Amino acid sequence: MKYNREEALRYFGTTKDDVRAGSLVDLAYLKVRNEVKAKSTYMRVACEINDSTVLIDGREKFNSKDLATHLKGCKEVFLFAATLGAGVDKVLRQLTVTDLAEAAAVQAVSAALIESYCDEICCELERSLPEGESLTNRFSPGYSDWDLLEQKTLTNLLDTSKKIGLTLTDSCMMAPIKSVTAVIGIRQGKTEKNINKCDECTNGNCEYRKTN
Amino acid sequence: MKFKELLKKEILFFDGAMGTMLQAQGLKPGELPEIWNFTHPEVIQNVHRSYIDAGANLIKTNTFGANALKFPQGGEYTVEDVVCAAVENARKAINGKEKTFIALNLGPTGKLLEPYGDLPFEEAVKLYAETVKAGVKAGVDVVLIETMSDNYEAKAAILAAKENSDLPIISSFTFDIDGKLLTGASVTSTCAMAEGLGVDIIGFNCGLGPEQILNFLEEGLSATDLPFMINPNAGLPVERDGKTYFDVDPDEFANIMSKIAEKGIAILGGCCGTTPAHIQKLVEVCKDYKPFNNAVKKTIVAAYGNAVVFNEEAIIIGERINPTGKPRLKQAILDEDFDYISKLGIEQIEKGAHVLDVNVGVPGIDEPKILEKAILTLQGITSVPLQIDTSNYEAMEKALRIYNGKPLLNSVNGKEESMTKVLPLVKKYGAVVVALCLDDNGIPEDAAGRIEIGERIIHQAALYGIDAKNIIIDPLALTISTGSENAKVDLEIIRHFTAKGIKTIMGVSNISFGLPNRDAVNTTFFALALEAGLSCGIINPNTERMMETYYAYNALGGFDDGCKAYTAQFVDKPKEQAVSAGKEEYSLTEAIIKGLSKQSCEAVKKLLTTEEPLDIINKYMIPALNVVGEEFEQKRLFLPQLLMSADSAKAAFEIIKDFTSKNNIESDKQVIVMATVKGDIHDIGKNIVKVLLENYGYRIVDLGKDVAPETIVAAVVEYKAELVGLSALMTTTVGAMEETIKELRKVSTCKIVVGGAVLTEEYAARIGADAYAATAINAVNYANEILK
């Protein structure tokens, strides 16, 4: 999986010209890459898009206007989940004790890694689609107006704990920490994707928001 | 005929998949298959029946997810209802057929246990206990714990089964293609733990096809002499059009399984994707194989990573986590400063320790509680096995119980009381135990006396069903300054037990107590003991000469092929020294601003020779941190620099703390209680704020993550804290923060500062906080304003 250094530095709260931070993230990458055990799972299901809800497989409902907008025109979606595994959590806990700066760097690097990994899997998924179909960007519980609690439905449908070891806490946080769940729309014809994924999100307070 | 009578006499066959069979008949993704016990009993019975007709002797009840998380009390069906219906369905399908048994199926809870997730270990035990009790009531023949991808969860299930039934237990694990569980445990670690906990059969199931399981089956067979069960999938899952398929057909499946049967496996069956046709073929091809035992006797300790196997090469046990003669550690234990304990652990692992001794025995503390916390904390940061070191029986049991893996216990001795109290715990929790050669009459002077005690302990342990491989004899090193024969006695004892295949252990450095230049005596004695056969040395891995002796001995003794380990250890040494000789000197203030940890340590050591600790903090450290904080606020420097400065100040602070605890300097620090609120398991933000505040000289009572409101309230009351810092990351956990604030207001006038990704100024005000800290520096500024 690709190590996107620039993204790692952005998550670390600095820029690519920051030399010392740069060596910290590089070191972090070396520390974490052997602990990463990336796994993913997905499922193709039918969906029904309404104004502010998305009905999955004719029985499970997601309540989010922004998700419905995102999936507009889709008849089917991929439910998607991925994780870097529990090894990253251990490294993070260990470094928190010995070296905080390095811990924050590992945090940033693994955030960048899970994004790269998801991008790669989704790219493969898109390539394997029948002629004439394309994918939208990923849209995850907790984005915009989509309540994080609905993450539970998603992990249940995918049986993520058994398939890839991705579990939820009672408050719907993911364990292992570096994990992603998402819905991806399947479109007939080409999809115009936002290059900046942040444009689709309404959370203006997010400290990682990218501006164009 | 009973299951146990048949086991090992003839090869037995498990059924195949239930889940994928039900999916083929319309079970929807996300739907609970256990409900079908009520809604589609005929379908369940048919699946069972078709496997029985195919020749299966063991039928898994349709109870994989039957736990109270999925079937809570007061819901439509309780766990007991589900188990009862499922067993009834199995029984109807068996319809009195001979040699056919019902296995109560217990799958994973679907949650990760602490510290990775939020399920406490004892909660997991409770969940499984409920299902086991229901199974016993319904009259199952066997408990099958299966598809376990976390050692720790398996331990909870095994304990629950042991504590609530006398049934035979099969504990079956799901490895990935590299032979590791999801949480990292190796095949050897897993088998050693399960064997220790007293399961009857170890299994591998799911995840992989038979071909992949063959790759690491040998590793399992060479870790334990228990019988095995192998239930693979019908090959690796293949994704087509967003759906999962298993492609290995019955003929191919049975063919590869016959290679597994050749290895003397006791039970064969199938998991996901297998069908009655697979099982029928399997029975046809493999029914004439005979199961046999592996004669394996290995001493193994393990956590949830790689196991430590006691082979020819000796094992290093790091002795540093022991407060005897260490005022700084003693203070850390009293302050419940687990970060410091963790650091001692990490340092020793980096220096080459294979196992860490953990002793927190300080008079006046609640040792059971502190030892438990220390074990949990250390296991959160490392998968190196631990040696639980205590003479407090309550602490011993607690620690053995919550330990993740196969523990090493220090110690039992020849006194009647010790043996009666300790040996049952060793048996129950599957520990390897250190046996000290002393008894009610003290330590015999001669070797024969101590050998007799060692033998007596081994004999007594056998009566409890503890194998001699799980006993490690400690001959006890007494200083040669009071008895010139003392070293010789130890060596004789080590030789005696080594000749009998019994492992030995020793705290080496005691041999030189009271002598000058102790390293010379210790290293020579260590080398002699290794040559006599010592299996493990409890030493300080930070003592370079001891580690030099260890690596040199391994190279000389032929245990280090091509001197690889020796060379790797020492080849880079001179270079490092050359680098450190050439660097420039920094003032403490400068070093902190620049974020240079080594340099700030050197600067602070120098300052301590002329200035008071408190003055150093006030005159140099705080001004430096203020500069960094201002620069950060002005956005002239960014998070990485802020953290590097915080780390270097922390390193300097550690040296000051060492100095003050050695010199008994008391300091009155203001207390700040900090926690990540209930339900929230992300705590890096809180930890950053904590380190910064500590650098300013505050005492932080860090309650950790996922902390209940009542725990926070209790700490604020106990420490009379005037400031509390709370963090919450998600919309779903801000509620817990609000509740915590409400509870705090009832009992305390403390100020409350909050932070976390989803919070804003307004949000913080709305839930009743006194202040909102958008950044770590905001939190520090607020603390300085309130407390100074």
Tokens of residue B98, six digits? 């001979």
Identify the residue with better confidence: A199 or B133.
B133
Query: Does residue B405 come out as left (phi exceeding 0), alpha (psi in the -120 to 50 range) or beta?
Result: left
**Residue B409's pLDDT band (boundaries 50, 70, 90)?**
very high
For residue A41, pLDDT over 50 is answered with yes
Contact criterion met (CB < 8 Å) for B730 and A172: yes
CA distance B736 to chain A (A): 10
CA distance B647 to chain A (A): 6
Contact criterion met (CB < 8 Å) for A90 and B242: no
What is the reported pLDDT for B692?
A: 92
Domains of chain A in sequence order: 5-191 (3.40.109.40)
CA distance B651 to chain A (A): 9
Between A31-40, A52-61, A185-194, B227-236, the lowest mean confidence (pLDDT) is in A185-194
Contact criterion met (CB < 8 Å) for A167 and B243: no
CA distance B424 to chain A (A): 33
**Number of neighbouring beta carbons within 10 Å of residue B483:** 12
| Nearest-CB residue to A101 (from B647, B732, B757) | B647
Q: One-letter amino acid identity for B403?
A: Y
Contact criterion met (CB < 8 Å) for A169 and B147: no
Query: Nearest chain A Cα to B182, which residue?
Result: A165
Q: At what angle do helices B622-633 and B776-787 cross, to 10 degrees?
A: 130
**Per-residue 3-state assignment (H helix, E strand, C coil) for chain A:** CCCCHHHHHHHCCCCCCCHHHHHHHHHHHHHHHCCCCCEEEEEEEEEEECCCEEEECCCEEEECHHHHHHCCCCCEEEEEEEECCCHHHHHHHHHHHHCHHHHHHHHHHHHHHHHHHHHHHHHHHHHCCCCCEEEEEEECCCCCCCCHHHHHHHHHHHCHHHHHCCEECCCCCEECCCEEEEEEEEEECCCCCCCCHHHHCCCCCCCCCCCC
For residue B430, pLDDT over 70 is answered with yes
What is the reported pLDDT for B664?
A: 81
Contact criterion met (CB < 8 Å) for B110 and A14: no
**Residue B161's pLDDT band (boundaries 50, 70, 90)?**
very high
Helices (H), B539-638: 544-556, 564-570, 573-581, 588-594, 597-608, 613-616, 622-633
**Residue B175's pLDDT band (boundaries 50, 70, 90)?**
very high
| Nearest-CB residue to B638 (from A13, A96, A205) | A13
Between CA B317 and CA B738 the distance in angstroms is 46
Phi and psi for A133 in degrees, rounded to 5? -105, 150
| Nearest-CB residue to A94 (from B117, B182, B346) | B346
Q: What is the ipTM of this complex?
A: 0.91
| Nearest-CB residue to B681 (from A78, A148, A169) | A169
For residue B335, pLDDT over 70 is answered with yes
Phi and psi for A135 in degrees, rounded to 5? -110, 150
3-state secondary structure of B386: strand
What is the reported pLDDT for B574?
A: 53
Contact criterion met (CB < 8 Å) for B116 and A98: no
Mutate to test the interface with A, among B18, B150, B183, B700 (most CBs of A within 10 A): B183
Domains of chain B in sequence order: 3-286 (3.20.20.330), 314-570 (3.20.20.20), 588-662 (1.10.1240.10), 671-787 (3.40.50.280)
CA distance B636 to chain A (A): 11
Average pLDDT, chain B: 94
Contacts of B234 (CB under 8 A, 6+ apart): B17, B209, B246, B247, B248, B249, B253, B270, B272, B273, B274, B275, B278
Handedness of CA B392, B397, B402, B403 (dihedral sign): positive
| Nearest-CB residue to B640 (from A59, A89, A101) | A101
Mutate to test the interface with A, among B687, B705, B738 (most CBs of A within 10 A): B687
What is the reported pLDDT for B240?
A: 81
Q: What is the mean predicted confidence (pLDDT) over B264-284?
A: 97
Rg of the Cα trace of chain A? 18
CA distance A192 to chain B (A): 23
3-state secondary structure of B145: strand
* pLDDT tens digits for range B360-378: 999 999 999 999 999 999 9
**Residue B583's pLDDT band (boundaries 50, 70, 90)?**
low
For residue B581, pLDDT over 80 is answered with no
Query: Nearest chain A Cα to B654, which residue?
Result: A98
Contact criterion met (CB < 8 Å) for B30 and A99: no
Contact criterion met (CB < 8 Å) for B116 and A207: no
Contact criterion met (CB < 8 Å) for B640 and A104: yes
* pLDDT tens digits for range B63-77: 999 999 999 989 999
Q: What is the pTM of this model?
A: 0.94
CA distance A14 to chain B (A): 6
* pLDDT tens digits for range B44-61: 999 999 999 999 999 999
What is the reported pLDDT for B573?
A: 60
Match 């997810």 to its residue by tokens. Answer: B65
For residue B456, pLDDT over 90 is answered with yes
For residue A127, pLDDT over 50 is answered with yes
N residues, chain A: 212
With contacts defined as CB-CB under 8 Å, which chain B residues touch A131? none
Contact criterion met (CB < 8 Å) for B381 and A97: yes
